[in-house]
Structure formats: C-alpha cells, structure tokens
Amino acid sequence: MSDYSQARTNMVDSQIHPNGVTMPALLQIFESVPREVFLPDNLQSVAYNDEDIALGEGRFMLEPSVHARMIQAAQPQPGDIALDIGCGTGYSTAVLSTMVSTVVALESSDKLLTQARAHWTAMGVCNVVMIDHALKKGAPEQGPYNIIMFNGAVAQVPRDIVSQLAPDGRLIAVVKKPGNTMGEVTVARHLGEGRFASHSLFNAATPYLKGFEPTKSFSF
C-alpha cells in the first residue's frame, strides 16, 4: 500500500493554506485524514490533486481547497450537530466528525453508504448517524442543525433544508446559476424567528450534486 502522508502535507501546504485556511485544527485534520482511503484503487493516485473527483452516482469528493474553505466558513464547534448532504463514500463526514459532536450523513445510494460505513468503521469514526433517503428532504427528524453542508453545487437550496437550521446555524453551499461554469460559495445564517442572512464568499467550479441541478422547463 502506498504512503500518501507526504501528499497530504503537500496538499495542505500548497493548496489549502495558501487559499486562506488558517484554522490550525482544520489544517491538521486535512493533513491526517486519508483521502485516498475513500477512493477506489484506480483513483487513489489523484486523491490529492486540487480538483473535484467523481465518485459515481452523481457524487463527488470536493476539491480540497474549496472543501476546507467551506468548513472554515461554517465555524464548526465541538458541541455542534452537522448535516452532511450527499456524503458519498464518507470522506466529508469523516473530516467533519473530528470537529463536531455528531454528523448526520445523508446519502440515497446504498452502494456508497455501504462503502462509507466500512471506511468509518476502519477509522474508528463513531459519532455518525447514517440516513438513507432522498437528499432534497434533508433529515428533519435528527435536526435542527448547527451546520448544513452540501457535497456539490446546487441551483438553489430547498426551503425544507433551510428550515432545518438551528438558531445561529450555518448552511454552506456552492450556489450555481443555470448555464454558469462557476458557482458562488454561500453561507446562510439563521438569525432566529425565521430570519436568515446570507452572503457569498468566493467562486468555485463545483459540479452539481445529483438532484440539485437546475429544473428544466418547457417553452414554446
């Protein structure tokens, strides 16, 4: 088995840290959690490239610099409950699990969830709740959430998912308008009493998460 420890260090030093990620704990996590473990053998050699990696079934392992900046913007706290939407083979959940109390991992693919479960077990990740159903529903039964993250771009964030934020909760998503190559990484914060504030942070060429693409309309 190849040793990717130097590749992880290089990823942090040349991709993540230079792009404005300064949280020491977060940098350490990206240097210690093995991305390659969550990929099939034929993709492990590109695990530390600064690009999105397709996992199949419309799921992605996010570009490292984008992923790390999104987590930093979410401001994770030890007591937080996080919702990880489209967790795929489980890397994003494993990263979040080291920073919060509980991660609710939402995935509709039984195949990918089976892989994710095996990876988490092998790594000793034990603060994850797995939910297997349509992503657009979110997971209201386990909410409300302090953090909600999407592993892929969305044309728009469903209101049902926004409503699952706890007061002062943060939702992070790459919002990409139809026809655009680049999306805007956007953070929305629940101000309480049904009020929300949002702002854009930076641009990212993140692919659409399956099920969150622009809705096709018919016109004469």
pLDDT surpassing 80 at residue 7: yes
pLDDT surpassing 70 at residue 218: no
CA angle, corner 25, sides to 20 and 27, nearest 5? 45
* Amino acid 194: pLDDT: 83
Domains of the chain: 5-204 (3.40.50.150)
Q: Distance (Å, rounded) from C-alpha 113 to C-alpha 143?
A: 20
pLDDT surpassing 80 at residue 108: yes
What percent of the chain stands above pLDDT 90? 94
φ, ψ dihedrals at 186, nearest 5°: -125, 135
The tokens of 87 are what? 């967790």
Helices (H), the chain: 5-11, 24-32, 64-74, 91-97, 110-123, 159-162
The tokens of 212 are what? 């969150």
Contact 201, 186 (CB under 8 A): yes
* Amino acid 216: pLDDT: 67
Region 19-41 average pLDDT: 97
Tens of pLDDT, residue by residue over 138-163, are: 999 999 999 999 999 999 999 999 99
Q: Distance (Å, rounded) from C-alpha 83 to C-alpha 93?
A: 9
* Amino acid 219: pLDDT: 43
User: What pTM value is reported for the model?
Assistant: 0.94
Report how far Cα 123 is from the mean position of its chain's Cα atoms: 19
Q: Distance (Å, rounded) from C-alpha 145 to C-alpha 165?
A: 5
If DSSP codes are grouped into helix, strand and coil, which group holds residue 190?
strand
Contact 128, 150 (CB under 8 A): no
Bridge partner list, 131:
106
Q: Distance (Å, rounded) from C-alpha 164 to C-alpha 147?
A: 10
Own/partner pairs for 113-118, CB < 8 Å, 24+ apart?
Answer: 113/87, 115/38, 115/89, 115/90, 116/38, 116/87, 116/88, 116/89, 116/90, 117/90
